[in-house]
Amino acid sequence: MTDALYEAKFDALRNAIYHSARKNFYDSFNRLLNFLVIVLGAGVAGKISELIEIRELWLEFAVLIVATAQLTFDFGYKARTHEFLQRKYHEMLADLELDSSAELQKWKSKLQTIAADEPMPMRALDALAYNAAVDATYFDVADRAKIRLWVPLSHRLLKNFIARNGYEYRPEADHKIWWRRLRS
């Protein structure tokens, strides 16, 4: 397998992992909002508010905010978009396995065609998807350590909320923890 063909497979795998994570996030968030709308909107919530001494006005306000957010942002639709893109990248991976000819331009073109439908990427999640693709394709631990990207904890926690377009993720091998930098 040529390096260029490997790159196309790697990029397709990384993008499939990325879109799988985004789809799962949006599906989970959509289900949570559905649950909150039903629970907060139920008459039982009014009775529970008396037990925990919350005014019913706050519950009504919470229903309004949650339902409006769900209708406005339509997380279910976003999940379906990422599901579609994930499926396209997996189809490309299958095509690459069947036709491993070195027609690199064809595969680059297909990657660009699929990428044209993508929403703005969340770069921290993309870096984590890159690491997952590295773990899936590189079997030597020393090679993985040189190639994997270091993603700060705050970026991991907010990976689905902040795009971080200006941040440059560097290899883990180049990263020094702050207290080690102080000693050197």
| Between 111 and 53, the higher pLDDT residue | 111
Work out the average pLDDT over 50-75. 82
State residue 143's pLDDT score.
85
Give the pLDDT band of residue 125 (cuts 50, 70, 90).
very high
Mean pLDDT, rounded, of the chain: 86
Crossing angle between the packed helical segments 56-73 and 3-41, to the nearest 10 degrees = 150
Q: What's the CA gap between 1 and 80, in Å, rounded?
A: 33
State residue 102's pLDDT score.
62
Give the pLDDT band of residue 85 (cuts 50, 70, 90).
very high
Q: What's the CA gap between 79 and 65, in Å, rounded?
A: 21
State residue 174's pLDDT score.
84
pTM, rounded to two decimals: 0.76
Give the pLDDT band of residue 1 (cuts 50, 70, 90).
very low
Give the pLDDT band of residue 121 (cuts 50, 70, 90).
very high
State residue 3's pLDDT score.
77
User: What's the gap between Cα 159 and its chain centre?
Assistant: 7
Token output for 105: 């331009």
